[in-house]
Every structure is written in structure tokens, then in C-alpha cells.
């Protein structure tokens, strides 16, 4: 039985089939109709864990035993996106409230960053994580539907701050990280009062010299107005660099309500 927050009462679009997108699944239509649903049963959570394992395994070379599962899953709400034409699960994320984080022993990102700057934060915090989108559905529509539902939940439930991590693969030896970090430092770092420090800071020998290629999820965060909490942390399990993200919910509401609260 899930020991998680109750799914929102208006998320009644429930499927009894734990279907998910497998490799080389192409949309049945050029513009598939997508729908976001909070998981309301263990089958929907298991399908999300299976999709995460497939995508993270392929992209980061991590060996999973069929599912990507950790202790935080039981304390999180899981938000899935489906192609309604075939009921395929094609994207997922999970969210952890400050109240549930207290029960879980802290936020997931506290494993990588010193979050001491948040101790005196006066407001409700929601952490987002384990976000992934099937490669065949990365035209932008899936992430728009996902963030539309997430934005609605944030504002409806009275959260003030969204936090989480965005990953940058180190499979290229750190080339992408080296090209991205100078831009993040110059334009996107949060103020000193909210700065976090990584537990395993990555020391780059030199700044990148090529064109800046921001990973899609990080790019989506930045377009939503997210700020970066500081230097990146090395994640040895996934061989990637994680950067901590902050987003003021009210600032997002004022700037992006038209975009993210409409039907995609």
C-alpha cells in the first residue's frame, strides 16, 4: 500500500492497465493527444518505475532489475503522462512535499546538496524529481502537458517554492557540463541567501569552448524561470552532474500561467 500523499481528488482519469512505452514506440498520430494523471494505484506507480528504469538505463548506463525504485517513492505523488490513443505511459515525474519529506527523513536532493539555506524558508516546498520522457515523445508536447499539470497542482495546493535537480551527463567527459556552467553562473544562479553547496563538487579543468548545448530538461526548467542553486554535484551512480534548481511559484504563475495552465 502506498504511504504517500493522497492524489488530488480531481485526478479521476484512472487506468487499470499498467502500460508503458517500450523501445522504438512511435506516436500513432503525428500530434498525439496526451493526458496527465496522478497515480492512484500501485500498478500506475510500478509502470512509472519501469519507464524510469528503461530510460535512465539507456541514457546513463545504469543497470536496473526491471524497475527504478528507491525509499522515497512511497512518500511521493507520481505524475504520469499518457498517449490516450493507446494508453501508453510516455512520461513521468514524482513530487515530494515538505510535509512528506519530514516523514521520509528529508528531501531526496539533500543527499547531494547542503540545504541549510532552506531551513528558515517560510513557505511550503515541493520537490520534483525522477523526471523522464520517452525519446519518441520529445517534441515538447509531453513536457508541456507534464508541467501544466504540475503547475496547476503547485498553485492549487498553495506551494511557494519548487526545488529539485536537473542532470547533465558526463558520458562526454564533462564537455557539456564545461560549456553549460559559465552560462548558468552568469545568468541563472540564485542569490547568496539561497545558495546550496554540493557534497561532491566537480572541479572542471577548463571552461568549455564549444557551442553551449543545454540538456532538454534543464532547458525546460530555465524557460520556466528556474534559478540554479550553485555548483554541480557529481552523481557517481548515474555518471552525471546534478544542478539544484529553485523556482518561485508565484513568479512562475505570473509569467507562465497562460502557457502552462492551458490545455496542450
The domain of 200 spans: 34-260
Is residue 240 in some structural domain? yes
Q: Band of the pLDDT at 15, cuts 50, 70, 90?
A: very low
So what's the pLDDT on residue 2? 47
Element (H, E) at 249: helix 249-260
DSSP secondary structure string, 137-158? GTTTHHHHHHHHHHHHHHHHTT
Cell numbers describing residue 180: 553549460
| CA separation, residue 24 to residues 21, 27, 50 (Å) | 8, 10, 16
pLDDT exceeds 90 at position 26:
no
So what's the pLDDT on residue 10? 42
Q: Band of the pLDDT at 112, cuts 50, 70, 90?
A: very high
pLDDT exceeds 80 at position 242:
yes
Is residue 13 in some structural domain? no
Is residue 138 in some structural domain? yes
Is residue 4 in some structural domain? no
So what's the pLDDT on residue 28? 53
Is residue 12 in some structural domain? no
3-state secondary structure of 258: helix
Phi, psi of 57 (to 5 degrees): -65, -45
Q: Enter the DSSP assignment of 26.
A: P
Span 41-65, mean pLDDT?
Answer: 95
Contact present, 220 and 254 (Cβ < 8 Å): no
Is residue 3 in some structural domain? no
Residue 233: partners with Cβ closer than 8 Å, 6 or more residues away: 112, 113, 165, 198, 199, 200, 201, 202, 241, 242, 243, 244
Give the least confident one: 6-15, 56-65, 77-86, 227-236: 6-15
Q: Band of the pLDDT at 254, cuts 50, 70, 90?
A: low
Q: Band of the pLDDT at 99, cuts 50, 70, 90?
A: very high
Q: Band of the pLDDT at 262, cuts 50, 70, 90?
A: very low
* Average pLDDT for the chain: 85
Give the least confident one: 8-22, 83-97, 122-136: 8-22
So what's the pLDDT on residue 4? 52
CA pair distance 244, 166, nearest whole angstrom: 7
Is residue 255 in some structural domain? yes
Residues in the chain: 264
DSSP secondary structure string, 178-199? HHHHHHHHHHTBPPGGG--EES
pLDDT exceeds 50 at position 182:
yes
Half-sphere exposure of 146 (CA within 13 A, CB side): 31
Q: Band of the pLDDT at 111, cuts 50, 70, 90?
A: very high
- The beta-strand segments (E) located in 208-253 are 227-228, 233-235, 240-248
Strands 197-198 and 88-97: unpaired
Burial-class residue 25 by CB neighbours within 10 Å (0-12, 13-18, 19+).
middle
Burial-class residue 203 by CB neighbours within 10 Å (0-12, 13-18, 19+).
exposed
- Here the CATH number for the domain that contains residue 186 is 3.40.630.30
Give the least confident one: 18-32, 120-134, 174-188: 18-32
Is residue 7 in some structural domain? no
Please count the other Cβ atoms lying within 10 Å of the Cβ belonging to residue 143.
22
So what's the pLDDT on residue 261? 44
| CA separation, residue 133 to residues 137, 217, 231, 257 (Å) | 7, 9, 25, 22
pLDDT exceeds 60 at position 213:
yes
pTM for the full model?
0.84
| Total structural domains within the chain | 1
Amino acid at each position: 500500500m502506498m504511504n504517500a500523499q493522497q492524489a488530488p481528488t480531481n485526478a479521476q482519469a484512472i487506468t487499470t492497465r499498467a502500460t508503458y512505452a517500450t523501445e522504438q514506440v512511435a506516436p500513432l498520430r503525428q500530434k498525439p493527444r496526451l493526458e496527465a494523471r496522478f497515480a492512484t494505484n500501485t500498478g500506475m506507480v510500478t509502470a512509472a518505475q519501469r519507464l524510469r528504469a528503461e530510460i535512465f538505463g539507456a541514457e546513463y548506463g545504469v543497470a536496473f532489475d526491471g524497475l527504478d525504485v528507491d525509499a522515497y517513492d512511497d512518500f511521493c505523488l507520481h505524475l504520469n503522462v499518457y498517449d490516450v490513443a493507446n494508453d501508453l505511459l510516455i512520461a513521468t515525474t514524482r513530487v515530494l512535499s515538505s510535509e512528506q519529506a519530514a516523514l521520509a527523513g528529508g528531501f531526496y536532493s539533500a543527499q547531494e546538496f547542503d540545504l541549510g539555506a532552506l531551513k528558515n524558508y517560510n513557505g511550503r516546498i515541493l520537490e520534483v524529481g525522477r523526471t523522464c520522457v520517452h525519446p519518441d515523445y520529445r517534441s515538447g508536447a509531453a513536457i508541456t502537458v507534464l508541467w501544466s499539470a504540475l503547475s496547476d497542482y503547485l498553485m492549487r495546493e498553495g506551494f511557494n517554492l519548487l526545488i529539485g535537480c536537473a542532470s547533465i551527463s558526463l558520458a562526454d567527459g564533462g564537455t557539456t557540463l564545461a560549456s553549460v556552467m559559465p552560462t548558468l553562473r552568469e545568468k541563472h544562479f540564485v542569490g547568496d541567501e539561497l545558495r546550496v553547496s554540493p557534497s561532491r563538487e566537480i572541479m572542471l579543468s577548463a571552461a568549455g569552448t564549444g557551442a553551449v548545448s543545454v540538456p532538454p530538461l534543464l532547458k525546460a526548467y530555465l524557460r520556466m524561470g528556474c534559478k540554479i542553486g550553485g555548483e554541480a554535484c557529481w552523481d557517481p551512480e548515474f555518471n552525471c552532474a546534478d544542478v539544484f534548481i529553485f523556482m518561485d511559484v508565484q513568479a512562475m504563475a505570473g509569467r507562465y500561467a497562460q502557457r502552462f495552465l492551458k490545455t496542450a
